[in-house]
Amino acid sequence: MLEIEDLNSIKEAVVKLNGLKVVTSNRVGKKYGFRENKGLLSVFTCREMEVIVGNIQEGRDFSLETDIYFFELQAKRTVSLHFHSKKGFLIVHDVTEEKKLNEAKLDFITSVSHELFTPLSASKMNVYLLKDLEKDPEKLQILEKIERSLDRMETVIRQSKFLAMVQLGLYDFKMEQVKVKEILDKVLEDLREKIDSRKINVKLSVSVDMLETDRFVFYTILKNLLSNAVKYSYPESEVEIFVSREKLTVKDQGIGIKEEEKERIFERFYRGSEALKMAPGSGLGLSIVKHLCEMMGYKIEFRSQWLLGSEFIVWFR
Ligand code: ADP
């Protein structure tokens, strides 16, 4: 049988309770003041004390994250608490440092992107003004090129910020019932220009009305996959989208992916050799899709044949 002393090397406090009394605890638990025969009320206090006490007394499992004041440490810590009523175990995971670090990282990302956006907006504004004054078509062409580059830069900053937040676990996803048609319509509307300019025929096959997912995550995955399918397709070809309760599939008849490039397409900033010639891009789209899938517990796979087409499949479970 597992003894609580066997848990001395783990970083969480593990406390065995009898009602509200501490029976025993591992080494970390003792550091927080969970000592034999002590009542929980004399070990710590917090705003949710009533809920915690109520759940433990009535033998209900619970998990919550909160700020707790530990009397022995004389300090407030941010912890996540888990109570397993069957075994009478209370597990206390101190996430104070993790939270501080994440806040610092978020602060850094936000500051950097803000510092880049400010001069970028100023440059865009000046190009816009110059374009208005310029009559020479050659110079106008150059200004338009600058404008496109600035737009690309803006996209890269925006996408990098989003990707960093997802990778750091700072994107708070919210599961809800989402109308598939609503998201599809929005994505198609956003990509309308791209779809029409290449005369792509988008075929839809949707066998589910609602999906339990995060609205923005589903939208972002679909938009990136469809945008790629359109970008890397031959003009006037067909792109198919299937959505069912189990999966999302985006299938195209485009240039496909070379065998030797397949293992790199999910890398940050990686762009295929032919893709570079075919359409503008940041090389971040699939990286974002991959990390969003990981965060949601989805599995992504693809099949592709060079010069014949590709199919990306996202399995929801
Ligand atoms: P981007 O499209 O901006 O280059 P992505 O991260 O979305 O960046 O994709 C990475 C690379 O994967 C692309 O540059 C391209 O080589 C390849 N790729 C992705 N989707 C497709 C597709 N549907 N057809 C062909 N190649 C694709």
Instruction: Indicate which CATH number applies to the domain containing 267.
Output: 3.30.565.10
Ligand 1 near 33 CB (within 6 A): no
**Cα 203 from Cα 219, distance rounded (Å):** 18
181 and 133 in a common domain: no
**Statement to judge: residues 148 and 203 lie in one domain:** no
Note whether 269 and 225 are same-domain residues. yes
Same domain, residue pair 259 and 231: yes
User: Could you tell me if the CB of 252 is within 6 A of ligand 1?
Assistant: yes
Question: What's the gap in Å between 228 CA and the centre of ligand 1?
Answer: 6
Does residue 160 line the site of ligand 1, with CB under 6 A? no
31/160 same-domain check: no
Angle of helix 215-231 relative to helix 285-296, nearest 10 degrees, comes to 150
**Whose CA is closest to atom 12 on ligand 1?**
265
181 and 310 in a single domain? The answer is yes
As a whole number of angstroms, the distance between CA 80 and CA 61 comes to 14
Mutate to test the pocket of ligand 1, among 239, 251, 271, 311 (most ligand atoms within 8 A of CB): 271
| CATH number of residue 23's parent domain | 3.30.450.20
Residue type, 297: G
> Alpha-carbon Rg of the chain, whole angstroms?
27
| Residue 115 CA, ligand 1 centroid: distance in Å | 29
The residue from 145, 167, 189 where one domain ends is 167
Domain boundary among the residues 133, 167, 201 is at 167
- Give me the residue label for tokens 């960093």: 164
Per-residue pLDDT tens, the chain, 317 aa: give them: 557 767 777 899 999 999 999 999 999 999 999 999 999 999 999 999 999 999 999 999 999 999 999 999 999 999 999 999 999 999 999 999 988 988 888 888 889 999 999 999 999 999 999 999 999 999 999 999 999 999 999 999 999 999 998 988 888 899 999 999 999 999 999 999 999 999 999 999 999 999 999 999 999 999 999 999 999 999 999 999 999 999 999 999 999 999 999 999 999 999 999 999 999 899 999 999 999 999 999 999 999 999 999 999 999 98
Same domain, 52 and 18: yes
Q: Is 256 in the pocket of ligand 1 (CB under 6 A)?
A: yes
Question: Whole domain around residue 102: which residue ranges?
Answer: 98-167
- Among 159, 220, 228, 306, the mutation site with the greatest number of ligand 1 atoms within 8 A of its Cβ is 228
Q: Are residues 266 and 203 in the same domain?
A: yes
How many angstroms does the Cα of residue 298 sit away from the middle of ligand 1? 20
* Angstrom distance (rounded) from CA 190 to CA 194: 9
Cβ-proximal residues to 196 (8 Å cutoff; 6+ apart), any chain = none
Query: Does the C-beta of 230 come closer than 6 Å to ligand 1?
Result: no
The Cβ of residue 89 has, within 10 Å, a number of other Cβ atoms equal to 16
Q: Which of 59, 74, 94 is the last residue of a domain?
A: 94
Angstrom distances, CA of residue 263 to CA of 1, 249, 272, 300, 302: 45, 20, 11, 13, 11
276 CA to centre of ligand 1 in angstroms: 9
Do 179 and 162 reside in the same domain of the chain?
Answer: no
- Are residue 275 and residue 219 in the same domain, yes or no? yes
- Same domain? For 240 and 285 the reply is yes
- Residue at 317: amino acid letter: R
Number of structural domains in the chain: 3
Distance from the alpha carbon of residue 196 to the mean position of ligand 1, in angstroms: 20
Q: Are residues 309 and 190 in the same domain?
A: yes
The per-residue pLDDT for 213 is 97
